[in-house]
Amino acid sequence: MMAFALIGIANAVVTGACLVFRITPQTAARHQMLVVKACTALIVGFAIHSVSYLCWRVAFADIGERIAFLLWDSCVTALMCVLAYATLPRSRRAWPARERPATLVGSRSVSRVVSWSLFSLFVIVVEGAAVILFDQAAYERFGAWDAWAIWNLKAKWFVLGGNAWSRVLTDPSFVNAHPDYPLLLPASVARLWMLSGTTSAIVPQAFGCAAAVTTFALLLGVGWALCGPVTGIVAATSVFTIPQFVWLTATQYADIPLSCSYLATLICVAVGVGHNGHRGWLTVGGLVAGAALWTKNEGILFAGSALLAVVIVQSARATFASALISARSILVGLLPFFIVSIGMKLLIPTGNDILSHQSFSTMWTHVTDTSRHVAILSHMWFLARTLPDLIGLLLLLAYVVSSGRVSSLAPAAATGVTLALTSIGYYAIFLITPNDLTWQLTTSGSRLAVQMWPSVILALMLWTVDATVRPTSHESRP
């Protein structure tokens, strides 16, 4: 019954909202920031309920009754809400007003013309992307290789496998399904399949589209909240500067949910380290970073990079002690998902296909092989020339260059350092991979770029706007 699935979605939303809205301070001044909180809550809620679904499968493998699972799912929501409101203090801290930085539309003479032009472009781009998305999704209902050979295959085993549901994770014959991969996506799809009583392809399709829409809404909301509608529109439409974003959404790749988690994490980190930022944002950033590492293995690298970036930026701006306090706030949210993810990997007999199938001496040989460096750098240059739409990229850069500069670079620096560290990690993985390097670059290089592109847009915007939400006049200062 679809009613059960809708209740399951509502449970995830309520769970995430209870945590996110309780931990972060009130921001009634900017309703667009409520959009950011709602999107973040959606990510956190689905991540938590994907873990609770796996706990159900482990504890009650022989029980397939939907009503019993719905009660379990609802109890998880009730428990998280009680814990949030009984144990977490609510911050009522208002944020001080800050002057809006100079932007391209700073003068009244051009503001209305530019604003309406950008709004028209916004509508055209969104409509065009939606048409392409739905057309491609209808053509590939079951997704591309990763969708039907990895994520949806695991989800069907979880739902239909009965007592043997875990074979897809433990049987060596499923090695091509990568048993060591994190399980947020297949567990979330399986959860909704179990509640709906079907294995319809609409569920994974809707999950991928929801991740893309959430990414779009995050960029629109944070840009609008920090600097106004023009910045929000520019940021949101720029996500389509890389057309492959739409194709990966339609074909149900996990790179889009991962990209969404990356972006939400960096938004929370940017606001948390901004002027008079609240540590609650860092805790929520840790929760979303945990969702990222529970989505794909790349998320582990990203979460570590975000944590290290906050320590570096806070140490440079204030003291090392304050940096450790900020790191602790992130770890509070990150550790539960980290423990679940690492615990799963320790229990899976099949190791990682890159790190566990070669010796250290082999890795070092790859690192010192000059031809591998040349091949990787050449492919990076190829992607830079061919992946983005040139006109869209030039318009984005023109807006950034023409805009004002922030007084505090900490939010932009934290975002930039995170992306730099993550990119270095990706480069290192390409260096040491035991797979054919050309194949590895061809199949994953562009997808890694898509993962990081919305976060790159955020980083560019943070060079031009302050990561501070300004209150309305009726709000009191702390």
For residue 147, how many other CB atoms are within 10 A of its CB? 24
Q: Which structural domain, as residue segments, surrounds residue 64?
A: 2-89+124-350+357-462
- Place 89 in a pLDDT band, splitting at 50, 70 and 90: low
Treating both helix axes as pointing N-terminal to C-terminal, what angle do 31-59 and 320-347 enclose, rounded to 10 degrees?
A: 30
Q: How many domains would you assign to the chain?
A: 1
pLDDT at 176: 82
Least-confidence region, from 28-37, 252-261, 323-332, 430-439: 28-37
Does residue 103 fall inside a structural domain?
Answer: no
The string of pLDDT tens digits covering residues 410-449 is 888 999 999 999 999 999 999 999 889 999 999 999 999 9
325 close to 315: Cβ distance less than 8 angstroms:
no
The pLDDT of residue 401 is above 50: yes
Does residue 95 fall inside a structural domain?
Answer: no
Q: Which of 196, 199, 171 is nearest to 186 (CA)?
A: 199
Does residue 204 fall inside a structural domain?
Answer: yes
The pLDDT of residue 184 is above 60: yes
Higher pLDDT, 64 or 268: 268
> Chain centroid to CA 187: how far?
17
Does residue 471 fall inside a structural domain?
Answer: no
The string of pLDDT tens digits covering residues 282-292 is 999 999 999 99
How large a percentage of the chain has pLDDT more than 90? 50
pLDDT at 259: 97
Least-confidence region, from 61-65, 141-145, 240-244: 61-65
- Place 112 in a pLDDT band, splitting at 50, 70 and 90: low
Quick one: average pLDDT of 210-235? 88
Does residue 32 fall inside a structural domain?
Answer: yes
pLDDT at 253: 94
What DSSP string describes 319-340? -HHHHHHHHHHHHHHHHHHHHH
pLDDT at 229: 80
Distance, in Å, from the CA atom of 43 to the CA atom of 41, rounded to the nearest integer, reads 5
The pLDDT of residue 12 is above 70: yes
Least-confidence region, from 11-15, 52-56, 230-234, 272-276: 272-276
**Largest alpha-carbon pair distance within the chain?**
69
Does residue 185 fall inside a structural domain?
Answer: yes
pLDDT at 91: 56
The pLDDT of residue 15 is above 50: yes
Does residue 468 fall inside a structural domain?
Answer: no
Higher pLDDT, 360 or 456: 456
pLDDT at 165: 83
Does residue 76 fall inside a structural domain?
Answer: yes
